[in-house]
Amino acid sequence: MSELTELTAVQLVDGYRKGEFSPVEATRAVLERAEHVQTAVNAFVRLDAEEALARAGESEARWRRGEPAGLLDGVPVTVKDILLQRGHPTLRGSRTVDPGGRWEEDAPSVARLREHGAVLVGKTTTPEFGWKGVTDSPLSGVTRNPYDFSRTAGGSSGGSAAAVALGAGPLSLGTDGGGSVRIPAALCGIFGLKPTYGRVPLYPASAFGTLSHVGPMTRDATDAALLLDVISGPDARDWSALGPAAGSFVDALEGGVRGLRVAYSPSLGGQVAVRPAVAAVVRGAVERLAGLGAYVAEDDPDFTDPVDAFHTLWFSGAARVTQRLGPHQRELLDPGLREICARGARFGALDYLAAVDVRMELGRRMGRFHQSYDVLVTPTLPLTAFEAGAEVPARSGHRRWTGWTPFTYPFNMTQQPAATVPVGVDGDGLPVGLQIVAARHRDDLVLRTAQTLYEAGVAGVAAPVL
């Protein structure tokens, strides 16, 4: 049974089709694994064993009839507790959210999972309202890294990353407003994709506006493409959602990187101090891309760090999230969140529009950049996992989480697709991520480049032992 938790979604579906094992067996194995890892890493706010096994039984009956409901029928999936799930409260890491209520609606991505027969096994941890790049909250405590329990899993989709890394479900849905899929995926050694904004519909709309994306968190690029095929359909509740994709993202994985124009930016033009061990691992992976036929040039996108504009947008969004809370409820908030909400509330409309101007110019520059290059490759992060329970590494001099995530949030501002691929470990055995960025609407190029790294044996790290 434990071996079932090591299989990808593609392998599970293939096994169901051949009758080698059943959705009930796979779901039971995942639930047992989730219970086992929860004490060590605190990846879940809720596990729904009875409901999951019931859905798995229905799936098993469909497979016996040769009538699977969809692409993920019987595959165990977890969902970050930011996204609505019908029949259960979505607490968003906050003691200010009332668990009572009707909770009658699925988020679009969760609805698509149901339509395709996926088995929803539980909700994963998040910092309060997904506000920072690590996962701890007053509601659910600290989520830890599966490679070293004294270190952070990253965030804000840290529970999802830890769950996937440890075999508690091969697929998870995360959200990414400044790196919140890519940061924890990189720190936990899994694959994470932030699709082009609007490719995956979002409802209710995020208070952080059009910075926030929904994306797959998986063990490899193939599973991510499969999950994206499922969740990328339009939904009438999201007016900003894109139309149907031109084709299957799984089909787009083929083709390799021969002739692909790759810009490698190791430090965004010297703006980022990257730890030597991280830089060496990423450079080695980039050299393999060149060996696989890509045209690689060391070049930097033409922009300076947009962190001040990002803070204006992000802190304003946080203030909006908590706008209706009374004084007693505000006292329940994460102190760091309370601080940025106060800052965000002081911004005026002209401050916000000035930040939008910076965002528009950044998008223009990246649009021009991708006329010369198909993809941009960078480290996902300049470091590996640091101590758990802290927003920033000790003695780093950073005040906020954006100080150590300079490679991720710019591409939320531009709405581009970006993925992190695990390409090795540092001297402490902690995973290192490589980021792949493409022009808007070219999710296929991001996935194809990542898939080539997996096929070449460059991507993927040994699973954590627990």
Angle at which helices 23-41 and 49-65 cross, to 10°: 150
Query: 33: number of CA atoms within 13 Å, CB side?
Result: 27
Query: Which amino acid is located at 93 in the chain?
Result: G
Distance spanning both ends of the chain, measured CA to CA: 16
C-alpha dist (Å) from residue 128 to 132, 286, 307, 385: 8, 36, 21, 20
CB count within 10 Å of CB 177 equals 27
Burial class (CB in 10 A: 0-12, 13-18, 19+), 24: buried
Q: Cα torsion for 119, 122, 128, 132, to the nearest 10°?
A: -60
Q: Widest CA span of the chain, in angstroms?
A: 61
Classify residue 351 as exposed, middle or buried by CB count within 10 Å of its CB (0-12, 13-18, 19+). Answer: middle
Catalytic (active-site) positions: 80, 156, 180
Q: Please, which residues bridge with residue 80 across strands?
A: 124
Q: How far is CA 145 from CA 153, 179, 385, in A?
A: 4, 17, 8
Alpha carbons 383 and 277: distance in angstroms, whole number: 8
Q: In angstroms, rounded to a whole number, what is the distance separating the alpha carbons of residues 266 and 78?
A: 33
Residue 130 tokens read as 């997904």
> Is beta strand 119-124 parallel, antiparallel or unpaired with respect to 76-80?
parallel
Q: What is the DSSP letter of 250?
A: T
